Every structure is written in C-alpha cells, then in structure tokens.
Structure 1
Amino acid sequence: MTGPFFRSCVALGLLTLLAAGCAPAADPPHPHASDDGLPAGVTVELRQTRADVAGRQAAVAVHNGSGRPIEIGAVSVADPRFAEPATRAVARTSTVPPGATVDIRVQLARVACDAPADAAATVTLDVRDAETDAVTARTAPIVDVVPFVAALHENECLQVAAERSAAVSLGTFTASAAGETARLVLDVVPAPGEGTLRIVGIHETNLLTFPGLVDAVYPLDLDQIGTDRTPQSVELPLLPARCDAHAVQEDKRGTVFRLLVEVDGRAGSYDLAATPEQRGEILAWVAAWCGL
C-alpha cells in the first residue's frame, strides 16, 4: 500500500519517534520521605571499627541510593541499652553524594544495664532538602550488621557490677631498656558496695605481652570479698609482643587489655584501657625498645 493515507501514517510515526528521541531524559528521583521516615533510597547501619573501641564511638553508615546528593546534619541513635542517645562526635554537616556511603561518628553514652540485651535501636537524621533548604528530622530503625552492641552492653555491665566491689585501673608505667622487662602497675581500689570480685587474669594485646603466659593470659588471683576490703597493687611485667614499625605507628588496640574476672561467681571479661598519657608512654617505650 503506497497511497496518500499510508504515506501520512509513516510521516506521523517518524515525527513521533523523533519527538521521543529529542525529549530530555527524566530527572533522577528526588529523595522524598518514605514510610520508614528516611528519604527514598537512603539506608543506614551502625558500625564499630577497631579504631572506635577505645574512644567508645561508633559510626552511622549512611548510604545514598537516590539520584541526588543529600546533606545530613544532627545525628542521634536511641538505644535502650544506653543511658542516653549517641550523638555526633563532631558537630558538622555531611554531604552524601548519590551512590556513596558516608560514616558519621557518634559518641556512645554509658550503658543502661536494666535494658534487655536484644533491645532495638532507632536513628534520627536531620536531612536538608537541597531544593527548599528545609531541614527535617527523619527517624528509622538501625541495626549493627556486624554485631557489637550486645557484647559491649554485656561486658560493660559486667564491669559496672565488678566496680561495686572494686575499681580496677592501670597505674604507673616504668619503661625499661631494650631487652629488659618494663613494669605496669595494676591498681585495685575497694568500693563500699556489696558483692564479690575475683580478678583471674589479664589478656595480652596485639602489641604487648607478659612473660609466662598461659593461653595468652597472665594469671592473677586478686580477691575483693565482703566488707573488709583493702587496696591492692600488682606490678605486671611487660614486653613488646612485636617490633614491626607499622604495628606501632598504626596502633589502635595495643594498649587495651582484657581483664578476666568473676563477679558474684559469674565469669566474664571487660576492657581495661590505658589513658592517653599512658598510651603515649607505652608506645614510645615500644619504639625505643625495638629500635624503631
């Protein structure tokens, strides 16, 4: 068929195709609020790296799966296992480009030991709309995909219970010459509360060790029982566990020990970290001892 009607139909079809081909591409979806409170395409999870542990921090990882950048202001993680919400460690605004993930550090509060270990958490993000400049608070559930909160809650609550009997801390550090043993004092100060505490041992770190270890634990046998408690101090013999330069330069957990205890007959452990000043002294000693 080659008549005028056929030619008109072909021309109309070509015009339609050309118009469609010249039409501008559709704008990427704007991150509007979805039912769970976050902008569409935006997801969150809670993480903790080795570098966060000593400072009791974590990170809210915000992934922007929308087609536009988003800006995040205030951040707050509410979890019944902590006495207060965790908020931004540094007050600022973070821009999350499309397809990117940005970690926003938050400072964890003290634990609330009457909360269930499997309690659920939520995060609230202040999200700025780039078009209207309006800031709205968006709240959604958040989980730690690589779980750490439950273990942290259990360990720190054990420490809270232990400190009803006595407070344990790292005291004076005495450096040594290369090839010789340094000394780190472990101080045990009784508390007026009830309960019993037995300090079974202290675990070596990735950077520091003790002579005469059994299963990486330096044995101790310190008791704080009853009301007639007395202060105790023990000198721990200390040696570098390694001398590679990057281990000292990139240290994250080298001065965080693990204290093995029994609290009212319940066995467990919790972290015992050096203060920033002690950490500096110990790392400088390791560097000198190793000739770095």
Structure 2
Amino acid sequence: MRRFSLNSASVTALTALVLVVSACSPQPPASAPATGSPQQLPAGVEVELFQLRSDVAERGAQVRVINGSDEDLVITSLTFSDDWFAGDAVRDRTSTVAAGRTVDLRFALPESACEDEPDAASRTSRVAFELEGGGTAEVEVADPLGFTTLIHEKECLRHDLARVATLEWAQFTPSAAPLPAELRLAITPAGGDESAELVEIQTTNLLQFADLPTAFPLAMTVTGTDAATELAVPIVPLRCDPHAVMEDKRGTVFNIEVAVDGTQGAVEVAAPEAMRGAILRWVSDWCGFGPG
C-alpha cells in the first residue's frame, strides 16, 4: 500500500490552506441572539387577560392561553407588565397547555399606578413567558372584558379622594323595629388645597336608608382644610330572609358616589369587621329571626 508522508514544507503549506479556507467561511454575526432571547409563540397560540368572579375580591386575574397549535406548550413562569399597574406580577409555576386546550394561569395584580401613568392611547400591556428549555416569548395581551381599566379607574379615584379626605364608618347604633338604626360616616380632611364632592351613598343588597330603597343624598363639597365631621345615616334592612344574613358577603360594603378633579365614580366604604357583625346581628333581631 502506498503511503503518504508530510515533510515540514508540506505541513506549512497545508496550514496556510486551512487558514485561507477558514477566513472565507461564513461567520456568525456578532449580534446573533443568545439562547433565551425572546421568540415567537407557536402559530395558533393566543393569549388574553381574563378575570373570573372569584378573582375580584382578591384582585386576582388570569392569563388565558388558548393553544390552537399541534404541540404542547410548557410554561415555567410568566410576568405580567402594564403601564397602569405599579411593578410587575410574576407567576412562578410550571403549567402545561396541551395542544388544542385552553388554560387560565392565575396571578395577583400589582397595585394601580395613579401618578404620571400614560393615557389610554399610550398604554401597553404585556406578558412574558419563560418556556421549558430556556426560551422566552413576550406578547402584547388584550383585555376583552376591560376589567383592568375598571380597576385602574376605581382605585385611582380612591387614591385621588385620599388626597382630600378619608371616609369611614365610625359608629353603629342599633334599633328596635320598626325604627331605623344609625350609622355615622366620619369625614377626615387630609390637608392641602384640593376639594371633592360627596354625591350620595348607594343602598347595598342588605340595607337601605330609612324606608326608602333609593340612594342617600349627600350633596356636599369637602376641602382638604375643612374640620373633621360625622354624618348620621339612618338604615333599615332591605330584606328579612335569614339566608341573606347567613350568606352575606357585601351587605355592609357601601358605594359612595364622589367626584374628584373632574372624575366621578363610586368608592367602596366597608364597615369594619366588628361593626359588620353587630349590623348582621341587628338585622336578625330587627327582622324577628335572631336569638333576641
């Protein structure tokens, strides 16, 4: 068998040839994306924001992932970012969204951003997914129910009102039927030169004002430099069925209509827990099904 041997001149020539070939070969661009850089979700995967009724009290929300692709999607974590909320919300749990399935991934909403936030036209809402294997994907996400807008408006109205005054239920005095009991609404100005209009107090699913199933008018303007004051509000039960008391969740949470800086809406003022218990006992006694 004929053998080939390389003398020093041959080695030098071969080395030069390798260097030339290497120099002519395509090189990866310096800015090539590293592993884990954002990528697209598989075609057919849709994402939107959603809120179930059970989420409302705890300020929860869901990222609904609709997997219309032919492959399973394994999400190891997600991050929700929105210009109308302060900071990000992170859900650090692995979830598999099988091909053809829809899964809601629950997370807790951050606090509303009520200072220097952008207007609706400039606002963005995004979800970033960490995917199994180290990849990431970021998408803008729609809110078809508009619940994030409602939360932002409601919480920022309360935020703006707090610059003028705070409202709270300070005292409850029970009564014997058919006389009304009395709630006292404490109005404590916060200082400063801003003002707010207190429009009315709305009935709850359990309570109304005296014998009128209508809102209780306030029609007063409060400024930050006013003296603290209390208003007497007469109440009677709106209904007298026992299960309304036993199953009550919102009967002692009052919506008070206010207007601040050109924006009008309702802020919730709930009775403190001890007062809530006293009101529910009074309803039972007033309606005649309590222990007496």
- TM-score, normalising length from structure 2? 0.68
Matched letter for residue 129 of structure 2: L
The one-character-per-residue Cα deviations of 1:171-225 (angstroms, maximum 9, x if unpaired) are 34455567664443322111122211221111123333323547x3211144322
Q: Distance in 1 between matches of 2:201 and 2:59?
A: 20
SS of 1:152's equivalent? helix
Structure 1 residue runs without a partner (length 5+): 1-32
The verdict on how the C-alpha distance between 1:95 and 1:277 changes in structure 2, with shifts beyond 3 A counting, is farther
Q: Quote the residue 1:189 is aligned against.
A: 188
Q: Quote the residue 2:228 is aligned against.
A: 231
Q: How far is the alpha carbon of 1:272 from its aligned partner?
A: 1.2
The structure having more radius of gyration, on CA atoms, is 2
What is the aligned length? 249
SS of 1:186's equivalent? strand
Q: Quote the residue 1:56 is aligned against.
A: 59
Matched letter for residue 270 of structure 2: A
Decide whether the 8 Å contact of 2:112 with 2:152 is kept in 1.
Answer: no
The one-character-per-residue Cα deviations of 1:32-60 (angstroms, maximum 9, x if unpaired) are x9x97334433222223444334333222
The verdict on how the C-alpha distance between 1:170 and 1:146 changes in structure 2, with shifts beyond 3 A counting, is same
2:130 to 126, 129, 141: 126
The verdict on how the C-alpha distance between 1:111 and 1:250 changes in structure 2, with shifts beyond 3 A counting, is farther
Matched letter for residue 126 of structure 1: E
1:262 to 259, 262, 282: 259
Pairing of 1:13-162 with structure 2 (within 5 A): 37-88=40-91, 92-98=93-99, 99-114=101-116, 115-118=118-121, 119-127=123-131, 129=132, 134-162=133-161
Q: How far is the alpha carbon of 1:145 from its aligned partner?
A: 0.4
Matched letter for residue 65 of structure 2: V
The verdict on how the C-alpha distance between 1:213 and 1:268 changes in structure 2, with shifts beyond 3 A counting, is farther
Matched letter for residue 126 of structure 2: T
Matched letter for residue 40 of structure 2: G
Matched letter for residue 48 of structure 1: Q
Range with greater deviation from structure 2 (139-148 or 164-173) = 164-173
The verdict on how the C-alpha distance between 1:286 and 1:112 changes in structure 2, with shifts beyond 3 A counting, is same
Q: Quote the residue 1:8 is aligned against.
A: none
Q: Distance in 2 between matches of 1:282 and 1:41?
A: 55
Structure 2 residue runs without a partner (length 5+): 1-35
The verdict on how the C-alpha distance between 1:168 and 1:38 changes in structure 2, with shifts beyond 3 A counting, is farther
The verdict on how the C-alpha distance between 1:76 and 1:261 changes in structure 2, with shifts beyond 3 A counting, is same
Decide whether the 8 Å contact of 1:81 with 1:113 is kept in 2.
Answer: no
The verdict on how the C-alpha distance between 1:271 and 1:159 changes in structure 2, with shifts beyond 3 A counting, is same
SS of 2:155's equivalent? helix
Q: Distance in 2 between matches of 1:135 and 1:251?
A: 47
SS of 1:146's equivalent? coil
Q: Distance in 1 between matches of 2:134 and 2:242?
A: 47
Q: How far is the alpha carbon of 1:244 from its aligned partner?
A: 5.2
Q: Quote the residue 1:202 is aligned against.
A: 201
Q: Quote the residue 1:220 is aligned against.
A: 218
Instruction: Give the CA RMSD over aligned residues.
Output: 3.5
